[in-house]
Amino acid sequence: MARGLRDQSSDEGRGGAGVHSRQEFGWSVMGTGTIATEHMVAAIRAAGHQPLWVVSRNRQYAAHFSNDMEIPDIAVDARRALEDPCVGFAYVSAARERRKHYILAAANAGRHVLCDGPIARNCRIADQLAEACRKAGIILALNQPLRALSPHQTMRRLAQEGEIGVLQSVLIVRGAPFQPPPNRHAEETVDRKEALFDHTIDSIDLARFLTGQEPATVSALAACDQRAYAMRLSGGAIFQSYESFTTAEFESVVMLAGDRGTLIANGTLSGRGSGTLVRRLNGRSELIPVRDRDQHLTTVEAFLALPQKPATWMALGEDNVIALRAAEAVRTAQNRHPALIAGT
């Protein structure tokens, strides 16, 4: 038994009057990913809750994570953790192919789920998971840090209030050499194509969040490790995005352009801070002050409030289905043979 792990024979002592109150605060962490290590366990604790279990199909991984993060219990079988009456929530940080298993286990146990995105490899499986959670009467929400960033939330609010007039265009641009994310386990690698596809999913989700409009039609171009695409949105705006691993790193841009003005967020997609937000009206640019918040804590707090107070900015399972479906449409569009332009 790893140092610091609770002997399961002692669980009988956790019954009685304290169980109901503890169930409101206990979590099972499913998977031992980097996001959980660096951000989410701390965010759960900062929200006043306690991670009680670590679940991994690799017992050694679970034991090491438990020791590092000071979480008392480990399990290989997800049901063992989810049946604990002190556990009220599940956070899924497992590799993508394992997320389905953990989400369904949590749904069967009646535990609300917060999951790193995307929840599945394709929209068909994601839709099945969202439906399973709906039938079980539980919440399936996503940890989408881009939605929780203060500049993006402020952009959305200002656009909804008509600050820039009628929205005409959405632009999302980011580029940097491919850098595999840090990983606790050296044998786990990140595929470049999968990473670029994840960028597309995130960009589409962010565009939907900022505009409240849905993807309608798409066209796309692609070369090695980069893609550009455009979508007509349901409200009439045009969404354009460029994502690349072939360029030198440049400051990312998220722009909402209306018929009266423009909102521009710079550096918000790098993962190294909240960036800046500028409003341009009548030929003048103005820096908009935004409160710098921990987006992971913001996400956990909003997730916990969902049963009583719906947070319309949170990404739910259904949102991820739509983003996946649109990203798959981009991939299909880029694989079609481009038409030759006359005269070339």
Exposed / middle / buried, residue 57 (Cβ in 10 Å: 0-12, 13-18, 19+) = middle
- Residues 6 or more apart in contact with residue 254 via CB below 8 angstroms: 151, 152, 155, 171, 172, 206, 210, 264, 265, 268, 269
Q: Region 311-340: what's the mean pLDDT?
A: 88
| Confidence (pLDDT) at 132 | 98
pLDDT band at 106 (very low <50, low <70, confident <90, very high): very high
Separation between Cα atoms, residue 9 and residue 96, nearest integer Å: 33
pLDDT band at 7 (very low <50, low <70, confident <90, very high): very low
**Please, how many CA atoms are within 13 Å of residue 145, restricted to the half-sphere of its CB?**
19
**What tokens does 152 get?**
């993006």
Q: What mean pLDDT value characterizes the chain? A: 89
Contact 287, 201 (CB under 8 A): no
| Confidence (pLDDT) at 21 | 44
| Confidence (pLDDT) at 9 | 31
| Confidence (pLDDT) at 276 | 94
Contact 252, 174 (CB under 8 A): yes
Separation between Cα atoms, residue 142 and residue 175, nearest integer Å: 24
In terms of average pLDDT, the best of 219-223, 229-233, 292-296 is 229-233
Tokens 């979590």 belong to 27
Q: Region 66-91: what's the mean pLDDT?
A: 96
Predicted confidence (pLDDT) per residue in 190-208, tens digit: 778 899 999 999 999 999 9
Predicted confidence (pLDDT) per residue in 118-154, tens digit: 999 999 999 999 999 999 999 999 999 999 999 999 9
| Confidence (pLDDT) at 311 | 78
- Ranges of beta strands (E only) in the chain are 26-30, 50-55, 73-75, 87-92, 112-116, 140-143, 167-175, 215-223, 226-233, 238-244, 250-258, 261-266, 276-281, 284-287, 315-316
| Confidence (pLDDT) at 203 | 98
Angle of CA points 90, 274, 194, to nearest 5°: 60
Q: Is the pLDDT of residue 223 over 50?
A: yes
**Please, how many CA atoms are within 13 Å of residue 133, restricted to the half-sphere of its CB?**
26
pLDDT band at 2 (very low <50, low <70, confident <90, very high): very low
| Confidence (pLDDT) at 23 | 54
Separation between Cα atoms, residue 64 and residue 173, nearest integer Å: 38
Q: Is 92 helix (H, G, I), strand (E, B) or coil?
A: strand
